[in-house]
Amino acid sequence: MRDVELADDGEQGAANEVARARGNPSHGRREAGSVVPSGGEVRPVRRARRRWLLLGGALALLLAAVVVVDGLRTRARAAHLAAVAGLLEPVDDSLSEVWSQSGGWHTFEWVYGPDLMVTIFSDLRLVANDIVTGEQRWDVALAEVAVFDFEAVKCHALGADVDVSTHIACRFEDNAPPGAELPAYGPLSAARLVVFDAQTGETVGSRSLGYGFGTVTALGSDILVTTVLADGRVQVTREDPPTGRARWTVQSERPLPGAGSGAGPRAPEVQTGHGVITLSGPIAMALSEEGEVLGEWTAQGVEADAGPVELAALADGRFVVGTPNAQADVPYGTVSATDARDGFPIVGPLLALDVDDGSASDLLLTTSAARDEIVAVDARTGEPEWSAKATPRAGALLLDRRLITTAGNDLIALDTRNGRRLWTAANGPPEDQDLLTDGRVVLVPDVDNEESILTAVDITDGRVLWRTTGPPEVIRFYEVGRRLIALQQEQMIQLG
């Protein structure tokens, strides 16, 4: 019996086959000229159609997946950049004035916290403005302070750890009263700390810090008070700002070089980062935020241990310590986990990055002013990876493994994987201006006595995307709390 293969046209096709098998050859046949594909021909056509449909669907799914992945990467990058310090909010060529307030270049100093800017005027007034709206919050006169040296006035906005400014702490140097017993060495003035409520401007604390050299530094909502003691040692105290209550106090083991001389030793410069407090100066110290001494260093490679000693803490807990004026045959310093200096040597200090997105954490980027170059070394071993000619006079930005800085008058980008120059854009910023970025473009400021111009350069290829004219008579542009601030002689202006 002959096998019968059923066609795709259903029961009618089966009936035609049966009729023909019974002797009716014409049953079910069409007129001459009509085309009826056989079952063997129908299946490949339909299979081909299905394959094309499946291929088209797969391509559509692939494109959709690419769009989704691209969108996720864009959102992930935006979320990452939101936590990177020093970045501006997104900018474009429609920049215009958001607010304008008294302040500007003629004021003595200004500081900012999470939600406000505080300007110190030369007539001894502190004025606080909302950082978002520019509206003035308070204006207070420093009636109780007779400033001995304007250069010694330093204020700090406290509260970065709680996202709202809690206090403004200012260190002044008062004129010494008649008949005061002055120290054998050191400043001829007494230091005073005045603490203001950041929301109202009310004075909530005021006390003398004595006659020694010293500094005040913000640590979250607390302050670090650094003082050079009579025996030449340095003392660091973490205090509650309004009350002065000490949370802990630490003193150096050794006196500072220069103690007992006519000028006396200068207090070290204090910085905080990665959960570590570092002191750089005649000696260097590292402390935990809980007051534990992590290390103490003196200068090496200079005459009479005379310093200064520069100290920086790395994110992995190691320290970079060096002496900038060491002898020519002595390396700048070392990278090590302790003050034993048992790590690897480096030839120059770390490159200061105005923006660092962490994309080159496998490298340490160092500078060599003598040779006008940047040298990258392996962060684990200290082995040299590459070097490139650069003169980072306007700062440096690290974004997506691109190191953006200056070389002569040019703006350049280096690939941190190999040091190769990715692009060059002519006419970088002048020496008295800083590079600014929102993570997508680099803003290159150019100012003169009459007008200011901001040029936006694409970070990926160095193309100039747009130029716009800023306010007239700008002296300098700054990033303040992710906002673009232009300082004129007597005004500060937010652009957005």
CATH code, 362:
2.40.10.480
Same domain, 380 and 419: yes
Which tokens belong to 406? Answer: 């200056």
Domain edge (last residue) among 329, 349, 369: 349
* 330 secondary structure, DSSP code: S
Is 150 part of any domain?
no
Task: Give the chain's domain count.
Answer: 2
Per-residue model confidence (pLDDT) at position 32: 46
Question: Can you give the pLDDT of all 496 residues of the chain as single tens digits?
Answer: 334 344 444 444 444 544 444 445 444 444 444 444 555 556 677 777 777 777 877 787 777 766 666 666 667 766 777 778 899 999 999 999 999 988 877 676 788 888 999 988 877 788 999 999 999 999 998 766 665 556 667 899 998 767 789 999 998 877 666 666 665 555 667 788 999 999 999 999 999 887 767 889 999 999 999 988 878 889 999 999 999 999 999 999 988 876 555 455 677 899 999 999 999 988 899 999 999 999 999 876 544 445 688 999 999 999 999 988 766 667 888 999 999 888 999 988 999 999 999 999 999 999 976 678 999 999 999 999 999 999 888 889 999 999 999 998 899 999 999 999 999 997 778 777 889 999 999 999 998 877 899 999 999 999 999 999 999 999 999 999 899 999 998 899 999 9
Q: Which of these, 245, 250, 206, 246, lies nearest to 229 by C-alpha position?
A: 250
Per-residue model confidence (pLDDT) at position 283: 87
Same domain, 408 and 359: yes
Same domain, 416 and 367: yes
Of the chain, the end-to-end C-alpha distance in Å amounts to 88
SS3 content of the chain, % helix, strand, coil (to 5): 10, 40, 45
Which tokens belong to 429? Answer: 């910023």
Query: Any idea how long the chain is?
Result: 496
Cβ proximity of 158 and 241 under 8 Å:
yes
Distance between CA 236 and CA 247 in Å, rounded? 11
Is 162 part of any domain?
no
Same domain, 357 and 344: no
Distance between CA 448 and CA 470 in Å, rounded? 11
Domain span holding position 382? 353-423
| 273: β partners | 276
Per-residue model confidence (pLDDT) at position 323: 85
Is 373 part of any domain?
yes
Same domain, 363 and 414: yes
Is 115 part of any domain?
no
Q: Where are the alpha helices (DSSP H) in 22-140?
A: 39-82
Distance between CA 145 and CA 175 in Å, rounded? 9
Same domain, 310 and 338: yes
The pTM (predicted TM-score) of the whole model is 0.80
Same domain, 309 and 343: yes
At 102, phi and psi to the nearest 5?
-60, 140
Same domain, 301 and 338: yes
Which tokens belong to 322? Answer: 């060096």
Domain edge (last residue) among 349, 372, 391: 349
Q: Cis bond leading into 308, ω under 30°?
A: yes
Residue 350: other Cβ atoms inside 10 A? 18
Listed in order, strand segments (DSSP E) in 213-358 are 214-219, 222-228, 234-239, 246-251, 269-273, 276-280, 284-288, 293-297, 310-313, 319-322, 333-336, 344-346, 355-356
Is 38 part of any domain?
no
Tens-place pLDDT, residues 86-125: 999 999 999 999 999 888 776 767 888 889 999 888 777 8
Q: Which of these, 188, 126, 189, lies nearest to 155 by C-alpha position?
A: 126
Cβ proximity of 107 and 119 under 8 Å:
yes
Strand pairing report for 436-437 and 293-297: unpaired
Strand pairing report for 246-251 and 203-210: unpaired
Q: Which of these, 364, 365, 355, 456, lies nearest to 83 by C-alpha position?
A: 355
Per-residue model confidence (pLDDT) at position 304: 44
Same domain, 320 and 344: yes
Distance between CA 84 and CA 76 in Å, rounded? 13
Burial of 321: CB neighbours in 10 Å, binned 0-12, 13-18, 19+: buried
* 281 secondary structure, DSSP code: B
Is 316 part of any domain?
yes
Residues 6+ positions from 281 with CB-CB distance below 8 Å:
256, 266, 267, 268, 269, 307, 308, 309
Same domain, 401 and 380: yes
Which tokens belong to 332? Answer: 């700048």
Residues 6+ positions from 478 with CB-CB distance below 8 Å:
434, 484, 485, 486, 487
Per-residue model confidence (pLDDT) at position 67: 67
Is 134 part of any domain?
no
Distance between CA 17 and CA 129 in Å, rounded? 94
At 81, phi and psi to the nearest 5?
-65, -25
Let me know the angle formed at the C-alpha of 148 by 146 and 151, rounded to the nearest 5 degrees. 120
Same domain, 365 and 418: yes
Is 319 part of any domain?
yes
Q: Which of these, 294, 306, 304, 339, lies nearest to 321 by C-alpha position?
A: 339
Tens-place pLDDT, residues 263-295: 556 778 999 999 999 999 888 999 999 999 999
Domain edge (last residue) among 371, 388, 423: 423
Alpha-carbon dihedral sign for residues 399, 403, 406, 412: negative
Cβ proximity of 254 and 229 under 8 Å:
no
Same domain, 345 and 361: no
Strand pairing report for 397-399 and 355-356: parallel
